[in-house]
Structure 1
């Protein structure tokens, strides 16, 4: 039972990480120090998508699920929980581009807000 709890906890952390990748730049508008963490998270996301490096969170969840006597993740985290579940598989590129646009928008907004604050001083 402890392994299942750990697997579920890792799954929730993974979802939180994905939300942070998509929306963390907007959080940086209020808490500017977050931008460095967000840039690192986006960098990891890019490496994961472009190079195909598996996220350690996926490996941990899979291991905990197997230790709990479950099947584990037959595919990666996103393929298991999002692609084909939340959005159709054929829209994966559209979703990836939408997340990239959100990140870009949040960073442009961050820079503009910082510039406006500097001008006011």
Structure 2
């Protein structure tokens, strides 16, 4: 029971990390130190996508599921949880690269807006 709960907690944390990596740049407007937390997270997600790597949280979740008597799953977190929501087909490397580009693009837009707002407020 505890292992299943821990595995579910890892899934929740994994989802939150991905959301933070995608749109956490908006928090920089609120607290500037978030820049030093968000940039590495966004880069990590981008590199994972471009290289086709599996995030270290995925094997941890699978180990916890196996310890709970469940089966783990092949592939990575994105293939197992995110892609079925977005795409009905299996994840291919080219799709994974596109997701990485989307993450990078989202963050570029967010940081451009944050920078623009900063410059706008600085001129007052």
TM-score exceeds 0.5: yes
- Residue 104 of structure 2: aligned partner: 100
- Residue 118 of structure 1: aligned partner: 122
Return 45-54 or 17-26, whichever deviates more.
45-54
1:4-48 per-position Cα deviation (integer Å, ceiling 9, x unaligned): 000000000000000001110112222222112110101111221
- Residue 17 of structure 2: aligned partner: 17
Matched, 1:64 2:68: no
With normalisation by structure 2, the TM-score equals 0.84
User: Residues 22-37 of structure 1 correspond to what in structure 2 (within 5 A)?
Assistant: 22-37=22-37
Segments of 5+ residues of structure 1 without an aligned counterpart are none
Matched, 1:82 2:82: yes
Q: Distance in 2 between matches of 1:49 and 1:36?
A: 21
With normalisation by structure 1, the TM-score equals 0.86
Whether the 8 Å CA contact 1:29–1:109 is kept in 2: the answer is no
